[in-house]
Amino acid sequence: MFLVDSHCHLDGLDYQTLHKNVDDVLSKAAARDVGFCLAVATTLDGYVAMREQIGERDNVAFSCGVHPLNQDEELDVERLHSLAAQPGVVAMGETGLDYYYTPETKLRQQSSFSHHIAIGRALNKPVIVHTRDARADTLAILRQEQVMDCGGVLHCFTEDTDTAGKLLDMGFYISFSGIVTFRNAESLREAARYVPLDRILVETDSPYLAPVPHRGKENQPALVRDVAEYMAVLKGVDVETLAEITTNNFSSLFNVDLSALRQDN
Ligand SMILES: [Zn+2]
Ligand SMILES: [Zn+2]
């Protein structure tokens, strides 16, 4: 079995007490059949530092972008474009809108989001979208900016079935995190049952949102296995099938060739 953690903040894990280093995290992941990670950036400086920390590896790819909660200053569009063009960057983001925590930066978030999509289209790299309390505007901007040209994923999905349907119509993938395992997440499970297998990705969003039975502890890529096992039950397939399909989905969305890695596995 070969699983991918399609969204983690590898630079944000606890390297003081829980993990020796990045190798340690990746070997814990591999021990649970998690053979590849997408390390997601949240600021441009953070992207540069994260690449330095992680280094070049055949089992990690990167995204480049500015998180909607990190809008203290105006986006440096030129810098985003040139960093995102670097080899090893397979996606833009995470970008999107978060009106829950920072409604005061709405306008700046919207402009940043639009720039990420425009650059994604120019570079032919899909966008990783975060949305919270901003469903209508998120859908409107995705449409306006013609995201269909580069594609993307709504990460850590917590919206309803109707929103999932609209995203699927735009060719989007939907990524499920440990939230789907939470006791009170019944409407999310309904959405997960609704989204077809060939559009599903799984992620940890580590170090946040550890799935049950690890809830409350630090999350890490190894635990995407728990998300996958849970999703397999929801979808009525075995976990090997869910792994096979979500890994194929990841490869086709982000244009990452995993065949060599999958062979040794
Ligand atoms: Zn997010
Ligand atoms: Zn994230």
Give the distance (Å) from ligand 2 centre to CA of residue 94.
Answer: 7
pLDDT category of residue 235 using cuts at 50, 70 and 90 = very high
| b/e sequence 14-50, b meaning 16+ C-beta within 10 Å | eeeeebeebeebbebbbebbbbbbbbbbbbbebbeeb
Distance CA 165, CA 146 (A): 17
State the ligand closest to the CA atom of 40.
2
What the chain holds in terms of domains, given with CATH numbers, is 3-264 (3.20.20.140)
| Tokens standing for residue 95 | 């970008």
Report the half-sphere exposure of 40 (CA within 13 A, side-chain side).
Answer: 28
Task: Give the alpha-carbon dihedral of 201, 207, 208, 211, to 10 degrees.
Answer: 60
Mean residue pLDDT across the chain: 96
Distance 144 CA to ligand 2 centre (A): 24
Q: What gap in Å lies between CA 60 and CA 56, rounded to an integer?
A: 8
Q: Going by C-beta distance under 8 Å and a sequence separation of 6 or more, which residues neighbour residue 211?
A: 177, 178, 180, 181, 204, 219, 223, 226, 227, 230
At residue 197, the pLDDT reads 98
**Residue 263: what pLDDT?**
84
Residue 265 is predicted with a pLDDT of 60
- List pLDDT tens digits, range 151-206: 999 999 999 999 999 999 999 999 999 999 999 999 999 999 999 999 999 999 99
CB 203 within 8 A of CB 130: no
Query: Which pLDDT score, from 0 to 100, does residue 196 have?
Result: 98
83 C-alpha to ligand 2 centroid (Å): 19
The answer to whether 60 touches 94, Cβ cutoff 8 Å, is: no
Task: Please provide residue 3's backbone torsions phi and psi, each rounded to the nearest 5 degrees.
Answer: -110, 150
Task: Give 6 Cα–ligand 2 centroid separation in angstroms.
Answer: 10
- Distance linking the first and last C-alpha atoms of the chain: 7
Three-state DSSP class for residue 262? helix
Output the CA 262–ligand 2 centroid distance in Å. Answer: 25
Q: Is the pLDDT at 264 greater than 90, yes or no?
A: no
Name the closest ligand to CA 207. Answer: 2
Give the number of whichever ligand sits closest to the CA of residue 130. Answer: 1
Instruction: Confirm whether residue 7 is marked as ligand binding.
Output: yes
Residue 94 labelled as part of a binding site: yes
Tell me the average pLDDT across 136-141: 98
Asked if 87 and 55 touch (Cβ cutoff 8 Å), the reply is: no
Closest ligand to the CA of 96: 1
Whole-number Å distance, alpha carbon 257 to ligand 1 midpoint, is 25
pLDDT tens profile 72-86: 999 999 999 999 999
Average pLDDT over residues 136-143: 98
Q: Is 205 annotated as a binding residue?
A: yes
Cα of 262 vs centre of ligand 1, distance in Å, is: 28
Q: Check residue 12 and give its pLDDT.
A: 96
Distance 156 CA to ligand 2 centre (A): 8
Distance CA 244, CA 1 (A): 7
pLDDT at site 209: 86
Residue spans of beta strands (DSSP E) within the chain: 3-8, 34-39, 60-64, 89-98, 127-132, 152-154, 173-176, 200-202
Distance (Å) from CA 41 to ligand 2 centroid:
8
Range name among 93-107, 163-177, 207-221 with the lowest pLDDT average: 207-221
Q: Does residue 31 surpass a pLDDT of 80?
A: yes
pLDDT tens by residue, 104-138: 999 999 999 999 999 999 999 999 999 999 999 99
Res. 241: pLDDT tops 90: yes
pTM of the model: 0.97
> Is 116 annotated as a binding-site member?
no
